[in-house]
Amino acid sequence: MAKRILLLASGGGSLAASILKAAQSGEIDVKVCRVISDRSAPVLELAESFGVPGTLVEFSQFDSRESWGVAMENIVGSDSVDLVVSVGFMRILPSSFVHRFPTINTHPALLPLFPGAHAVGDALLAGAIETGTSVHWVDAGVDTGTVISQIKVGIEVGDTEESLHERIKIQERKLIVETLKKFATIGLQK
């Protein structure tokens, strides 16, 4: 029986699209139960186009981070998922959430290097000759969970943050699908 996953995303959904396409084609044996966004974003329409419910849990509509976290836990808990997959979700999840639901995240750097929201720019500023993408377990920190898989991406002379990030995204889409193939067949170890 296919593993049940839920996607968290905040933007256009290029990573979510890779997962949805791979699930629809049978490349990965998972059922995407829902896509949640913390803001009104194109990823919600993308989910609907694949016949997957898209749910907006808009952070700004809650009076506190805690009440937003409770709402997130209630929605995810109602879906009986095996894994939560954060793909471009730009909110820090409460520690109670990540303790309750196994959650993985994609990150555009070779963790533990360059954690946080500005990883691509930080790699360039540091003068790194390579960076890449990681899939890691989410814990209570920011990009501090155990790394599951990585792909390296070289930094080229003249790279801008945009050009480098586009090359990283290509590898990130491959890496998340490969990681979910492994999850669906043999599972992932923390």
> Which residues have a catalytic role annotated?
107
10 Å Cβ neighbour count for 128? Answer: 17
Side chain identity at residue 35, one-letter code: V
Q: Where are the beta strands (DSSP E) in the chain?
A: 3-8, 30-37, 54-56, 83-86, 103-107, 130-137, 147-154
Number of Cβ within 10 Å of residue 103's Cβ equals: 23
Residue 13 structure tokens? 């959904």
- Burial code of 158-173, b = ≥16 C-beta within 10 A, e = fewer? ebeeeebbebbbebbb
Residue pair 88/11 in contact by the 8 Å Cβ criterion: yes
Round to whole Å and give the CA distance between 125 and 183. 35
